[in-house]
Structure 1
């Protein structure tokens, strides 16, 4: 009896793991194609170093809809990619504000780690130590830190307030100032990562709904199918004598039980459930795989209220994510982590 529940748990975990991996893959593909991570970072840097745009406001919108609408399609905050190495002499902060002057100066100091992507930078992460060194290089171009801060104040850069507090805490010590800038930027990157994950959760939620409905994956129906297949296999292995054979023949609608047994044993419950998607894939014993439009049957399942609790179960399971289900699968099977 225990093996029945173990089979049921493994079947559900594997199904949720595969669908969660699909959700994660779709999310990662969209992030890479649209360069979301890089745009997120440089939008924050523009707000921090150059301030909000006078016409369009903040580069990193505050609302969820604003982020999804602006960053992927409408505005690209990333600097233009350059194949040239960083100049030997850091650029000086201009006397008057020129829009993205500070971003250009920062990019000059970090572009050795860059490679172009459709004419824009692909840098999605700047180590805090590298950022603090870049700030020190820009300060050296202005002869000293107080003069550098005065230039930032003159161009009305939001970075002035942050660095001024760090400089006062360092009490004029350049090494402590560099370490303070590094610690401050590290904290900002952690805060930005938390903000990014908050937006990613919305994307995963939408993709989870799409994948659940696309495959019309009813979690309750799948669990019942697993239990039914397990009981059927048990009855097959228990066949001994004509009476048991007659009972098996009745389960196969009165026909020859051999094709019925072959179909159940060769088509696991997961394969049958995945075959109820909008576009089903069939892999015959001989020949090439085939694709079949399954729109009518798919819509019948989606529009049937009795399937909705099962869809809800699958959707909630996908929100836990692939790492969670992999950990559950590893614990059930006894697979040990290499770490």
Structure 2
């Protein structure tokens, strides 16, 4: 019973580790694309332009479709303000009169107040997160920049037809025209808006992760069912080696039969045990990496073997199992691995 339990534990750990590695690869590719194209920063500033300056009669800056988030937003329209290495001005000038008919006056003024947390990247701002408290302070600085305080500034927003007017005016009235309560209200409102924006962003990203998961599964031709069978074979081999070490002549004969005649039993077992199923999980990828006992690793093109596996229908149930597993994400598999092994996270 204990040996059978050990087999199941080994099988579970092997599958979890393989799915964790592939999930990390998917997450890494997604993160690399997001950082390279600055999608998070563009997503935030597209929302800010829509919220603060409006669309000006044109289509909204923040895309409404998944295709546009990863096509139009990264390549066609960059909503981010130009980077500036200057500190925030002591006083912000009120929006010009010509901004009434549209433009990016409010977005520009906001960037002036928060650009201390920016760093240069391709001439555009790299800010992808504005803390709610910092946004509320920026709003108060803008409201106090001219004469008349918050009420005059809100009237100017209304004159500009800024969508921000409706939100801030409701907060101002709810705060009973108290500036401190107004600041807290703006902070709470913006925090909820960022939570909503994060949920919207994750909804878009999950489709990209799903596409990347499918691509990784097929490129590595990872058959989850076949891999599970390989794990069980490895366990049986380790059991056989232990029996052979104990002097079981029948087991020694079976092990010799698995090795070629011109290779010593010890060398054969060493090579087999040093290449467990977890190491061979990527052997059938379209591009493989072999690590010989001596010499440098080499990269090999496995196009023929890979194509044979892809076009073999019997492998597709295993591909489907792997693909579904990757949809759970790396955090899920890491948490499962930690629970199974008893590892504790540091606090």
Assess same fold via TM > 0.5: yes
Q: Deviations over 1:25-76 (max 9, x none)?
A: 1111111111111101000000000111434x10001111121221111111
Aligned mate of 1:19, from 7, 19, 22: 22
Task: Provide the rounded CA distance (Å) in 1 between the counterparts of 2:249 and 2:262.
Answer: 15
Corresponding residue of 1:248: 255
The equivalent residue for 2:297 is 289
Q: How does 1:265-284 map to 2 (within 5 A)?
A: 265-284=273-292
Q: How does 1:89-100 map to 2 (within 5 A)?
A: 89-97=91-99, 98-100=102-104
Q: CA deviation at 1:219?
A: 0.4
2:31 pairs with 1:31: no
Please list, as runs of the form range in 1=range in 2, the aligned pairs for 1:149-188 lying within 5 A after superposition.
149-188=154-193
Match for residue 318 of structure 2 among 288, 304, 310? 310
Moved more, 194-203 or 236-245: 236-245
Q: Which secondary structure state, in structure 1, belongs to the residue aligned with residue 71 of structure 2?
A: helix
Q: Which residue number in structure 2 is paired with residue 145 of structure 1?
A: 150
Alpha-carbon offset, residue 252 of structure 1: 4.2
Q: Give the Cα–Cα distance (whole angstroms) in 1 for the partners of residues 239 and 124 of structure 2.
A: 61
Segments of 5+ residues of structure 2 without an aligned counterpart are none
Equivalent residues in 2 for 1:214-233, closer than 5 Å: 214-233=219-238
1:119 is aligned to 123
Query: Matched residues in 2 for 1:171 and 1:287: separation?
Result: 77
State whether residues 79 and 104 of structure 1, in contact with CA within 8 Å, keep that contact through their aligned partners in structure 2: yes
Q: Are residue 189 (structure 1) and residue 194 (structure 2) matched? A: yes
2:329 is aligned to 321
Consecutive unaligned residues in structure 1, runs of 5 or more: none
**From 125, 135, 138, the counterpart of 1:134:** 138
* CA-to-aligned-CA distance 1:178-202 (integer Å, 9 cap, x gap): 1111111111011001111111111
Moved more, 153-162 or 240-249: 240-249
**TM-score (normalizing by structure 1):** 0.96
Query: Residue in 1 aligned with 2:11?
Result: 8
2:305 aligned with 1:300: no
Q: State yes or no: 1:234 paired with 2:239.
A: yes
The one-character-per-residue Cα deviations of 1:152-171 (angstroms, maximum 9, x if unpaired) are 11111100111110111111
2:338 pairs, out of 295, 309, 330, with 330
Equivalent residues in 2 for 1:38-49, closer than 5 Å: 38-49=41-52
Note if 1:82 corresponds to 2:72: no
Structure-2 separation of matches of 1:106 and 1:330:
44
| Alignment partners' CA distance in 2, 1:124 and 1:278 | 36
Give the Cα–Cα distance (whole angstroms) in 1 for the partners of residues 214 and 249 of structure 2: 49
Task: Describe the shift of the 1:3–1:241 C-alpha distance in structure 2 as closer, same or farther (beyond 3 A).
Answer: closer
Cα deviation for residue 90 of structure 1 reads: 1.4
Deviation for aligned residue 1:244: 3.3
